[in-house]
Structure 1
Amino acid sequence: MRVILLERVQSLGQMGEEVTVAPGYARNFLLPRKKALRATENNRDFFQKQRAQLEATSLKKKGEAESVGKKIADLSVVLLRQAGEAGQLYGSVTARDIAVAVTESGCSITREQVEIPQSIKIIGVYPINITLHPEVSVTITANVARSDEEAKTQATAVKNGRPLGAMPPATADDEEKKPRRAREAKPAAEEASVEGEAVSAEASAEGEKKPKKAKKAKADKAEGEAA
């Protein structure tokens, strides 16, 4: 589906650009959140008339995001969880959990603004990127521990130079658990490539069938003449 971006969208483009996205991504995320419009002539005219206002609104939101960013730039949220002796959590810490912890600290954010490749499943102190605006992001820390005492010990160790925990890469299971809008956000180029390969394969198959049909027709004709 072709859409006109009403603001900068990471991995898609800048305000005013027309891009091709998966229909589900447009219907479930971009359109209802007013981040884009369907690319029609009427909407193109509408965008041009509203562009100055949209840019002013975006600039205002950016300023508000920068203000929030300054407040949480050095924030460390503590999330207490039960875990085994080796530190493996009985459960996990998700983007939603981190968003709730940050909101409780006084700055409201949503889970969509929390960027983690997959849920945290081991105690430790982790760097977490928070996207407050398409052009504003900050990094906070999530201190996952079994008790307040352990959280303090981990924080002290990090302050003394211990590296932060490394976020493990996303797995196939984590991809399936992502919101549908995230799974549907496939690059248009990838979809176009797949469609192109399918068309090419069909054309190749048709090309192979034609010589066989021609040979069969000749054989039938020869049999008829012999008869």
Structure 2
Amino acid sequence: MEVVLLERVEKLGQMGDVVKVKNGYARNYLLPQKKALRANKENLSIFEAQRAQLEADNLKRRAEAEKVGEKLDGQAVVLIRAASESQQLYGSVSTQDIAKAVTEAGFTVTRKQIELDKVLKTLGLHDIKVRLHPEVAVGVTVNIARSAEEAEIQARGESVEEAAEAALNERDEAVVNVFESTADVDVEELEQVAAGEEPKDDA
């Protein structure tokens, strides 16, 4: 089917382009979303008559999207999810989940504006694209972690496993230090102190 595009469509063309697409793609996506019209004589005449207004509206929407994009680009949002020891999520993160997190961060977006090239099923930092306008897309980092503490570790670029191991080593070292500091203490003196007595001086 031949259609005339009413806005830029990635990998297809710019506003006003007449392109040939699969019937299903036109019927299920381009036409219902008002991104295109069937390229017949009547519709082409309608488009040409409205072209100046469509282009003006498009420029206005693009300017607004660019303004929002300047603030949103590079932002990070945190999603807390349950996951296994192998960092696999019990389930996956959807475009709806990301849109909600971005909206809670102060930017109103819909799930249709979130572009995922793969399903998010693991912990870690994931770079995703938010399409604010057909001609404006920005990058956002989705930080998926089991807890707020893990999210902070990941945001610093550190490995959660290495941080956990370091914390264990630190705890073990503290235990050893406590043991070593008490190793030379006279047990009898400790018992006297515990009983509220003054330690006896053997000298």
Are 1:19 and 2:19 matched, yes or no? yes
Are 1:143 and 2:143 matched, yes or no? yes
Shift of 1:23: 1.7
State the one-letter code of the partner of 1:140. V
Shift of 1:71: 2.0
CA distance in 1, matches of 2:107, 2:26: 29
Query: What are the superposed Cα offsets for residues 94-147 of structure 1, whole Å, 9 maximum, x if unpaired?
Result: 222111111121211122221211211110011111111121111110000000
Aligned residues: 158
* TM-score for the superposition, normalised by structure 1: 0.67
Match of 1:214? none
CA distance in 1, matches of 2:128, 2:95: 9
Match of 1:103? 103
Are 1:53 and 2:84 matched, yes or no? no
CA distance in 2, matches of 1:22, 1:49: 27
Match of 1:43? 43
State the one-letter code of the partner of 2:70. K
1:133-212 superposed matches below 5 A: 133-157=133-157
The 3-state SS of whatever aligns with 2:4 is strand
The 3-state SS of whatever aligns with 2:128 is strand
Determine which structure has the larger helix proportion and give its number.
1
CA distance in 1, matches of 2:106, 2:23: 36
* TM-score for the superposition, normalised by structure 2: 0.75
Q: For structure 1, which runs of at least 5 residues remain unmatched after alignment?
A: 159-227
Are 1:121 and 2:127 matched, yes or no? no
Moved more, 97-106 or 50-59: 97-106
Match of 2:65? 65
CA distance in 1, matches of 2:115, 2:33: 19
Match of 1:207? none
State the one-letter code of the partner of 1:84. S
Query: What are the superposed Cα offsets for residues 169-206 of structure 1, whole Å, 9 maximum, x if unpaired?
Result: xxxxxxxxxxxxxxxxxxxxxxxxxxxxxxxxxxxxxx
Higher Cα radius of gyration: 2
Query: What are the superposed Cα offsets for residues 69-90 of structure 1, whole Å, 9 maximum, x if unpaired?
Result: 1121131110110001121111
Runs of 4+ in 1 over 3 A off after TM superposition: none
State the one-letter code of the partner of 1:77. V
CA contact (8 A) 1:95 1:119 kept: no
Q: For structure 2, which runs of at least 5 residues remain unmatched after alignment?
A: 159-203
Match of 2:83? 83
Match of 1:217? none
Match of 1:5? 5
Query: What are the superposed Cα offsets for residues 34-92 of structure 1, whole Å, 9 maximum, x if unpaired?
Result: 11101110111111111100000100110111111112113111011000112111111
